Amino acid sequence: VPIICDCPEVFPDDLLGLPPPRQVEFRIDLDPGATPVARAPYRLAPSELKELSDQLKELSEKGFIRPSSSPWGAPVLFVKKKDGSFHMCIDYRESNKLTIKNKYPLPRIDDLFDQLQGSSVYSKIDLRSGYHQLRIREEDIPITAFRTQYGHYEFQVMPFRLTNAHAVFMDLMNHVCKSYLDKFVIVFIDDILIYSKNKE
């Protein structure tokens, strides 16, 4: 695509370092009296251990995770994707049970489809590492800790699988796209659709 070649600074191959502060910050509000939960790492197959080592290295190099001494600690597991690669998942079920739920509304799918009536040209934007572009409030970082065979780490950016991640990301995207919503942009969590009646 010519525009990508012409503007490499706008479309980098990778995103390194912590994202800048944004209008929305991810925070974890716990139920009163909640105490830290730590679970032993799950047993992983040799192929999963190799993937774990690679992904920990990549996340560390990007600045998304750091070593942790937190009393919290969730185990890690892997889900195989359709293409055969592995998706690292942190099992935050225990800490999610202790988290106060954010009631930010997600849009109704039928309402979103109503906006598309009369449109014939569509563009979809796929955000690269979208969730990882939102910082976590400093005092909540220890709650994101996870335990592996290679050490104890915590996220400095919003990870997948935490309660409220969808709601907070939806809030951020609504802030970013506010001027364009209901005109030519639809946002559903980390999926962005641009629609138009014609190519102009």
CATH of the domain at 177: 3.10.10.10
Name the pTM for this structure.
Answer: 0.84
8 pLDDT band (50/70/90 cuts)? confident
Number of domains in the chain: 1
141 pLDDT band (50/70/90 cuts)? very high
69 pLDDT band (50/70/90 cuts)? very high
Output DSSP code: residue 184: T
pLDDT value of position 182: 85
pLDDT, tens digit (0-9, with 9 covering 90-100), for 153-190: 999 999 988 999 989 988 988 888 899 988 899 988 88
pLDDT value of position 113: 87
The H or E element spanning position 137 is none
Instruction: Report the C-alpha gap between 25 and 30 in whole angstroms.
Output: 16
The answer to whether 119 touches 185, Cβ cutoff 8 Å, is no
Domain interval for residue 111 = 2-196
- Is pLDDT above 70 for 11? no
Tell me the one-letter amino acid at 63: G
Per-residue b or e along 112-127, where b marks 16 or more CB atoms closer than 10 Å to that residue's CB: eeebeeeeeeeeeeee
Provide CB contacts within 8 A for 138, sequence distance 6+.
Answer: none
